[in-house]
Amino acid sequence: MNDVLKAIFERNSCRSYTGKPLTQEQVDTLVKAALAAPSAVNAMPWHIIMCTDKAIIDEMDAEAMAEMAKAEDKGLYQRMMDRGGKMYYNAPAMMVVLSDDAKAWGTMDSGILIENVALAAHSMGLGNVICGMAALSFNGPKGEEYKKHFKFKEGHTFAIAILVGEAVEGKVPHEFDMSKVTYVK
């Protein structure tokens, strides 16, 4: 099996990080992997924010969990509590991708970009988890403060994020659900 397929089949969502900072080389490699992503008509309808400020990530984690605790449906909150009570899982790095509202396919292309980063991180021996729920941090009571801290670009909105770091432990990838596939011949 080639290295790309191996990374695809072995990658899993990491929900427990040691908190050890990434090296600058690791950060730069992840950013380059993001920038290598394809986009429709090469429009690149995104802006990438790479945050390695663990203090702000931890603060945003606490804020997002507090917001989730206020939700009427406690199911998701309880699931997060069962996983250690953290949404960002002690990750030392978070890449936030903003979508350019003026360009078509921004959300889709941002998802493609994040998958590049997820596979690159895995191939580098780093745990990662794609985190759409990071939107809670940017839409909550301190959302405007966080958007300013992260230097959100005018005309761009949160699309998706990914948490990256050294995993506390490995885990087995999910099983393939072949009921989700239809073959047409």
pLDDT in tens, 40-67: 999 999 999 999 999 999 999 999 999 8
How confident is residue 73, by pLDDT bands cut at 50, 70 and 90?
A: confident
Side-chain-side CA neighbours of 101 within 13 Å: the count stands at 7
**Could you tell me if residue 180 is inside a domain?**
no
The CA distance from 86 to 94, in Å, is 14
pLDDT for res 77: 86
Domain count of the chain?
Answer: 1
Q: Residue 119: inside a domain, yes or no?
A: yes
Answer whether residue 37 is part of any domain. yes
The domain in which residue 141 lies consists of 3-169
In a domain? residue 90: yes
Residue 25 placed within a domain: yes
Which amino acid type is present at position 149?
Answer: H
Instruction: Say if 69 falls within a structural domain.
Output: yes
Does some domain include residue 182?
no
Mean pLDDT value across the chain? 94
Asked if 98 and 47 count as a contact pair (C-beta separation under 8 A), the reply is yes
Whether 178 maps to a domain, the answer reads: no
Please report the pLDDT score of residue 32 as a whole number.
98
- Taking the C-alpha atoms of residue 136 and residue 157, their distance in angstroms, rounded to an integer, is 13
CA dist 151 → 48, 51, 172 (Å)? 10, 11, 36
Q: For position 127, which CATH number holds?
A: 3.40.109.10
Q: pLDDT of 94-137, one tens digit each?
A: 999 999 988 989 999 999 999 999 999 999 999 999 999 999 99
Structure tokens given for 165: 């770091």
Distance CA(168)–CA(78), nearest Å, equals 22
